Structure 1
Amino acid sequence: MAAIVLAGGRSRRMGSDKAALDWEGEPMLARVVRVVAQRCDPVLVVAGATSAAFRGIDDIRDRAAPGIDRSRVHWVTDEQEGAGPLGGLVAGLAKAAADGADLAFVCATDMPLIAPELIDELRLGLTDSTQAVIARDAQRDHPMAGIYRTDAGPVIADLVAGGERRMLGAVEALNTHRVGVSDPDWLVNVNAPEDLHRLRVTTG
């Protein structure tokens, strides 16, 4: 199973690149990569060549914590411009399939509390007919915390070509199973400075 980390967002609400934000001494992107690499190989970081994450990759690499095997981490920069995270998902699934992976765990770069056990629990929800397994908490679905079959990529590509930009659009088009995970903190993401501050206070 590959991992796809979607890192191409513009971080408008945060005001700075979320991938480079410090979380417990390492860039948030490095932390997410380090965690998902415990279950997945390769790890594909999807971010367009003009994105803040890709332009700042040298700084992120210099600050990355030990324990990341960089030979297993690959950047995917050919996502469709303006297609949002769904376009990143299409690019990531295509690369994962080309690398021989049947499955890909998909997450965002702004999930600092993610744990490998999230992947374990989602994997238990897979069946032969399931195209996607996504996490759900008490409030909503989390399509950017899920396992997708790589052969579903063309279906999602057709959605993007038709103008769909919502990750939930993929969930609705695929045979999707939802899993209520045991620790909803794994799904927390940070979109604005106040989110990051609140999380640091509550986890400190």
Structure 2
Amino acid sequence: MGTDKALLRYEGSRLVDRAVAHLQRICDDVVVASGPRTIPELRVAQVPDRPTGTGPLGGLAAGLARVDGDVAFVLAVDLPDPDLGFLARLESHWQGEAAVVPTAAGHPQPLHAVWATACAPALSLLAASGTRSLIDAARQLDATILDEAQTASLVDHDRWAWNLNRPSDLEAGSA
């Protein structure tokens, strides 16, 4: 996109505010992994990557370390139409593993998933050792990665994994 996605507007709201509002419908505590910056006018806790400069994997580790409870719902800011019921159903499949990760279009979706808070230290170590891929981290920690058929049986709508990657996506999604 060439800019900070969290601050982009979609249907009148910043993407970060939209993601927070979605999560507040199903969570008591919402934490935003905001990387090296602080997002202005955000009324929830923000955490920097852990370790610093390690991108989404470090952000996930920091967020999980900050959350109470056994699991956390994880949602990327560029997923404007998440399936919140789906996240709850994913949680019901969790049996103590690092994460339950759905698959869409042949790709695991670790940022529309349920992650165990206990794996935060392991994720930090992976990030510190040079791992950058959330999918690689999920596999290294033996997360459950649902196949597309398993995923399809749990979702309520097809747009749950649609993400905003290009400026044209912002316009197409609002049409």
Shorter-normalised TM range: 0.7 to 0.9
* Corresponding residue number in structure 2 for 1:11: none
2:29 maps to amino acid: P
Asked if structure 2 preserves the Cα contact closer than 8 Å seen for 1:47 and 1:79, the reply is no
Task: Give the TM-score, by structure 2 length.
Answer: 0.86
Structure 2: which amino acid aligns with 1:125?
Answer: H
Tell me what 2:64 maps to: 93
Residue 200 of structure 1: how far off its partner (Å)? 2.2
Q: Root-mean-square deviation (CA), in Å?
A: 1.8
Q: Report the Cα distance in structure 2 between the residues aligned to 1:137 and 1:161, rounded to whole angstroms.
A: 28
Unaligned runs of 5+ in 2: none
Contact 2:36 / 2:48 at 8 angstroms: preserved in 1? yes
Contact 1:47 1:76 in 2 (8 A): yes
Alignment of 1:31-180 (within 5 A): 31-50=18-37, 54-55=38-39, 57-58=40-41, 61=42, 70=43, 73-96=44-67, 100-127=68-95, 129-177=96-144, 178=146, 179-180=150-151
CA shift digits 1:101-124 (9 cap, x unpaired): 211111111111113212122112
Q: 1:190 aligns with which of 148, 157, 164?
A: 164
Q: Is the 8 A contact 2:31 2:47 kept in 1?
A: yes
Q: Which amino acid aligns with 2:159?
A: D
Q: Is the 8 A contact 1:135 1:141 kept in 2?
A: yes
Cα distance in 2 for partners of 1:35, 1:145 equals: 12
- TM-score, scaled relative to structure 1: 0.75
Summarize deviations over 1:69-98 as a string: whole Å, max 9, x none. x4xx211125333311001111111111xx
Q: Deviations over 1:42-71 (max 9, x none)?
A: 100011343xxx35x13xx5xxxxxxxx4x
- Pairwise CA distance, 1:131: 2.1
**Secondary structure at the counterpart of residue 102 of structure 2:** strand
- The DSSP-based 3-state class of the residue aligned with 1:191 is coil
2:51 touches 2:127 (CA, 8 Å); kept in 1? Answer: no
Q: Which amino acid aligns with 2:100?
A: V
- Greater strand content: 1
Q: What is the number of residues matched between the two proteins?
A: 168
Tell me the secondary structure at the aligned position of residue 133 of structure 1. Answer: strand
